[in-house]
Amino acid sequence: MKFAVNYSAPLVRLLKNGVIQVDLIKCPDWEGMLKEARPLGDITIHFDLEVGLGNTFQVNFPRIKTYLESTFTPHVNTHLVTSQYFDTSSPKALADINTLWRDEINIMVAHLGPRAVALEHHPYTEANAHIQPAADPAIFSQVIHDTGCMFLLDLAHARITADTLGVGVKDYIRALPLDRLLEMHITGIKRHNNILTDHFELGDEDWELFTWALEEIRAGHWRKPEIVAFEYGGIGQTFVWRTDERVLHTQVPKLYQLVKAHN
């Protein structure tokens, strides 16, 4: 397993000063950021792709393949979503979205291959009730098995979704297709504007869940992921206010050691 951390200005400083160590710097497919990150180490790209809105039909796959060949990005991620106006009570809407999900993923698989496509689950909260079908572990798992693609497990997303559904997070995760696990993400969650939100520093519950996940992997209960990513930090208004160099300084080395100890 390789350990990745989100690109951010504090991460750059720590890497330049040799204070922390990572295997991969996780970036979006932004040319400017990629240019700045390349001198610091190997890069893995997290693409801003979604299936369920029809956008995959216009994706520039030659561009994606160029990024895959020029970075250390072994696979392409995409999120399972529904439109903001999706009617979760309509059987026809549910049938239509199930068809659309499979059609979009099958296009990705046709271009990239089934083992190069990783489907990620979105965090389900009271604020985005329209994605409830996409957060259902049985529905999500069936989409993966039907399309033959792989699975990206986000532990923070699982905690948020399980809380919304009123179920235990470990039970929720066990219902997901862990035999197809290809990548795993970890961040802390907090209440922000009264909604559980991710991309914060790790708290006690986050550490406990991450340690449990690593033990499940080492025991052979889950497929071993190729990448474990700490999705803390970033640039722009979305991330700068919750990016603290002290958190990276203290939590990245501990995470790195835990990942390496479970390889």
Q: Which residue's entry shows tokens 């956008």?
A: 55
Predicted pLDDT of residue 96: 97
| Distance, CA of 228 to CA of 217 (rounded, Å) | 12
Predicted pLDDT of residue 196: 84
Q: For the chain, which residues make up each domain, given as ranges?
A: 2-261
- The yes or no reply on domain 2-261 and CATH 3.40.30.10 is no
Give DSSP secondary structure letters for 112-175.
H-GGGEEEEEPPP-GGGGGGHHHH-HHHHHHHHHHHT-EEEEEHHHHHHHHHHHTS-HHHHHHT
| Structural contact between residues 14 and 233, judged by C-beta atoms closer than 8 angstroms | no
* Residues β-bridged to residue 24: 4
Give the C-alpha distances (Å, rounded to integers) separating 82 from 55, 58, 103, 117, 147. Answer: 12, 17, 14, 19, 18
| Total residues found in the chain within this entry | 263
Residue 210: which of 195, 197, 225 has the closest Cα? 225
**How many other CB atoms are found less than 10 A from the CB of residue 168?**
11
Predicted pLDDT of residue 198: 87
pLDDT under 50 in the chain at which residues? Answer: none
| Distance, CA of 214 to CA of 211 (rounded, Å) | 5
In one letter, which amino acid is 121? H
Q: CA quadruple 200, 44, 221, 217: dihedral positive or negative?
A: negative
